[in-house]
Amino acid sequence: MSIQHDPAIRGFASDNYSGIHPDVLSAISEANGGHQIAYGEDAYTERLQEVFRSHFGESAQAFPVFNGTGANVTALQSMLPRWGAVIAASTAHINVDEGGAPEKIGGFKLLTVPTDDGKLTPELVDREAWGWGDEHRAQPLVVSITQSTELGTVYTAEEIRALTDHAHERGMRLHVDGARISNAAAALDLPLRAFTTDAGVDVLSFGGTKNGAMLGEAIVVLNPEASEGLLFSRKFNMQLSSKMRFVSAQLIALLDGDLWLRNARHANAMAQRLRSGIEAGIADGSIRGVAFTQQTQSNGVFATLPDGVADRLRESFRFYDWDASRNEVRWMCGFDTQAEDVDAFIAELSRLTRA
């Protein structure tokens, strides 16, 4: 097969655009050959349990799945009765970017709360945490947060503990959508369990695809009492891989060592380089009309641009509008983003805003 793309081209649209980290690709190859029992009874998935327990504690149990939507829907479904509801930020991936799958496939109601920075607080949770026992209202029984958030912000361990305590006091559980959880750990400079298990989180979705994997995420149950039926619901939600060893091998390659952290630190550092370079340009007048809309705490940069600049900039670098009505855009960095990519982007932005 001939190569159908230019491997030298990298943009800022999504950390999903990247290829596979060479160590992860090698792990897939090394797991090949011979026969292993299908559907998760293989040696790699068994080893993966040990690896996840080393990061999240002895009670952690991992269920590898294909993708992030599958992880979120299946995890939340296991935490709820049929009449249950999930409180989430209005910007949450489960609300905005999963095509209605949580409600259509998961069968539970989403109760969303507007938030300027993508983060929930106990006070914001209380806007929807009411109506228990009212047969006319879906029962709020789970709070779901994203770490790091869709706006690139990061919850501290103390903020998550406050949310879990608040939820548990009201008979609710707490779920973490961890599609970019490695970036959050890198930003906080904390081990994964410090802001999950030790902070009282019940269930999380662990992301691999945005951090160097080809495909594959995992549902990680931290509190066995908070989840029921995953062994069965993973199958009927079409998330049970027959050749699971190849999903597990990728996650082992990331987590059995520090590759997950090195990748995330690099992506975060490239986002900081991008922001710092633009800030310097704003300060010296070489970049005009650009303003940041969120803190840059992980691997995403959010900003507004002058009219027409985004489309002209996209002729050289792909990225997405975040809120086109106010010219707000999102620039994402990945494990394979290079310093020269960032510097070229800043130079082009400077040229266009001075044109």
Residues 47 and 123 in one domain: yes
Residues 185 and 145 in one domain: yes
Residues 223 and 337 in one domain: no
Residues 329 and 254 in one domain: no
Residues forming beta bridges with residue 228, ordered by sequence position: none
Residues 122 and 98 in one domain: yes
Percent of the chain, pLDDT > 70? Answer: 100
Residues 37 and 179 in one domain: yes
Write down the pLDDT at residue 256. Answer: 98
Confidence of residue 283 (pLDDT cuts 50, 70, 90): very high
Residues 181 and 213 in one domain: yes
For the residues 194-204, what does the mean pLDDT come to? Answer: 98
Q: Is residue 3 part of a domain?
A: no
Confidence of residue 1 (pLDDT cuts 50, 70, 90): confident
Write down the pLDDT at residue 60. Answer: 98
What total number of domains does the chain contain? 2
CATH number at residue 211: 3.40.640.10
Q: Which residues contact 276 (CB under 8 A, 6 or more apart)?
A: none
For the residues 54-78, what does the mean pLDDT come to? Answer: 98
Residues 138 and 40 in one domain: yes
Long-range contacts of 111-114, Cβ-Cβ distance < 8 Å, separation of 24 or more: 111/85, 111/86, 111/87, 111/138, 111/140, 112/87, 112/88, 113/87, 113/88, 113/89, 114/89, 114/90
Kindly list the strands in the beta sheet with 300-304, ordered across the sheet, starting from the edge strand earlier in the chain. Answer: 291-292, 300-304, 328-332, 320-323
| Residues 75, 175 contacting (CB under 8 angstroms) | yes
For the residues 242-270, what does the mean pLDDT come to? Answer: 98
Of 209, 229, 258, the residue that ends a domain is 258
pTM above threshold 0.95: yes
Residues 228 and 246 in one domain: yes
Residues 192 and 298 in one domain: no
| Residues 76, 102 contacting (CB under 8 angstroms) | yes
Residues 247 and 285 in one domain: no
Alpha-carbon distance values, 238 to 48, 82, 231 (Å): 21, 19, 12
Q: Is residue 306 part of a domain?
A: yes
Range of the domain at 267: 260-354
pLDDT digits (tens, 9 = 90+) for 211-235: 999 999 999 999 999 999 999 999 9
CATH number at residue 271: 3.90.1150.10
Q: Is residue 9 part of a domain?
A: no
Residues 296 and 154 in one domain: no
Backbone angles phi, psi at 259, to 5 degrees: -60, -40
Q: Is residue 5 part of a domain?
A: no
Mean residue pLDDT of the chain comes to 97
Write down the pLDDT at residue 186. Answer: 98
